[in-house]
Amino acid sequence: MGLLEEYFKGKTFIVSGVGRGQGLATLRLLAGMEANVIALSRSGSLDVEFSQKEKERIKFFKVDASSEHDVKGFAQKISDYRNKISGMVSNAGIWEPADEKLSSPENMEKFFRSNTMSQYNILYHILPFLGDNGSAIIIGASRNLFGGNHSAYTVSKFALEEVTRSFASEYFHKGVRVNSILPGGVSKDDNFGKIYPFNFPKKDGPIESLQIAYISSFLLSPLSSAINGQCITADKGMGLS
């Protein structure tokens, strides 16, 4: 058993946005390392096949993270877990192909609610549940993804970097770390079974959700205890070309 597997076994984590992509990959990775996972999704269930061992370790909750009422209600349901959660990964958010219409104030409100407030709601109401040495991770987006005709999306994601630093500062003396991962373009395909554990694609292929999940697992663990309040870009060096 490796260091990560040894750490995660039997501990409890919260993962939001598990309906697809990075959230789903993180959920399956942690469950595969025998962690107990409280999984949040808008539907409360997934059309995905899980092994019996995974099913025994995953508890689903129907939560719309963009609704503070929903997140607050969820926090009340898990009141018995206070100071027993080892970490959390917040994946909530939306993305749409760039279009000049997406820069409108109406779309700014939509993206800010889904990409920024959803993460803020989760952190505000769930961070108090983390015990000593807990770790929280926000999934944002690489700055190299941002271009024209997508001002609303850009602002909603930039804001998460300050959300990260602000909550990290607030919880520093409480022994809880807060960091964010800023991925580049991530494959939307569920390739978990094809590449787990280490059969990753070549350098010119898309970033796989599982790669981001492994970065999350490192940041959740004590191996990364020196990292706090950081926004870590994971985009294969998109800005270097």
pLDDT, tens only, 5-17: 889 999 999 999 8
Q: What residues does 233 pair with on adjacent strands? A: 182
Q: What residues does 58 pair with on adjacent strands? A: 37
For residues 228 and 176, the answer to whether their CB atoms sit within 8 Å is: no
Asked whether residue 91 carries a pLDDT value surpassing 60, the answer given is yes
Identify the pLDDT of residue 155.
84
pTM of the prediction? 0.88
Count of CB atoms situated within 10 Å of the CB of 1:
9
Identify the pLDDT of residue 97.
61
Task: Please report, to the nearest 10 degrees, the dihedral formed by the alpha carbons of residues 144, 149, 155, 161 taken in order.
Answer: -10
| Average pLDDT score over residue span 60-68 | 94
**Hey, which CATH number is domain 3-240, 3.30.450.20, 3.40.50.720, 2.30.110.10, 3.40.50.1980?**
3.40.50.720
Taking the domains of the chain in order of start, what are their residue ranges?
3-240
